[in-house]
Amino acid sequence: MTLNCKGSLLDLTRPKVMGIINVNYDSFYAGSRFQSLDEALEVAGRMLAEGADILDIGGMSTRPDAPEISISEELGRVEEVIAAISSSFPEAIISIDTYRMEVARGAIEAGASMINDISAGRLDPNLPLLAAEYGVPYIMMHMRGTPMNMKHLTQYDDLILEMVDYFLHLTARYKSLGVQDMVIDPGFGFSKNLIQNYELLDKLEVFSLLGYPLLAGVSRKGMFWRLLNSSPGEVLPATCAAHMAALERGANILRVHDVAPAKQVIAVYEQLDNRKGEDNC
């Protein structure tokens, strides 16, 4: 299983790590916010040195209740950063985290080679078409509503079944539109309550059966710090535990704030997986 990122093939035979770089002032985890170009370049270099396979650049927070900013402001935050990272680290695979076509186009022209859309094309139907136009991988996430109201939209008759139907419909539709490479992100924390997040983690392997790469984005989320009466800055151990659970259930990509710990989790997972293979010989 591979993703074609503007000519660079990302082999998903082994799990990959996507490092989060937020160029904004209000993402939920303060440690992921970088306002200056120098800061963003420094953290990009560090993440790549620690083994990040993808860098995910976002200019607008999508935490619960996060307000929208203008398209021009969002694009202004990410375009220069992506161009600088692409110039300084030409081999880096850069993803643009946006649900707006205009921002994604500017980011791709600046050097991004992947689109990460939390709305899966619901908030801007032109975004999947842009992925088809440029031939870049398209990450589609499950979310109801918008970041402003999603926390109130958590009523499901059958969470997993409804999500499977959601992805079956969208992957078929976008494939017919010419999107070549798609990645499924179940959307932990997006229009899901605490109990639902753990149901989703427990049953994550269901989504790998759809035949597309699976991204798990659980890093430092409220499903840990609310459970533990803690804060985003104090739940790295819980995040690592969930990363192991996600890998065991078929996750191909971990979207993380902390690259080095995630690489350690993958190393342990792969060692255990290799032993399983040996035991079955």
- Catalytically active residues are 221, 255
DSSP 3-state of 72:
helix
| β-sheet bridge partners, residue 184 | 140, 214
Q: Which residues contact 229 (CB under 8 A, 6 or more apart)?
A: none
Helix axes of 194-202 and 236-248: crossing angle, nearest 10 degrees: 40
Rounded distance between C-alpha atoms, residue 105 and residue 102, angstroms: 5
Q: Look up residue 141 and give its two tokens.
A: 């996430």
Place of tokens 């093939």: 9
- Kindly list the distances between the CA atom of residue 276 and the CA atoms of 33, 172, 204, 214, 271, in Å, as whole numbers in the listed order: 40, 34, 20, 22, 9
Structure tokens of 182? 């798609």
Nearest residue to 245 via CA among 276, 280, 272, 226: 272
* Burial degree of 174 (CB within 10 A; 0-12, 13-18, 19+): buried
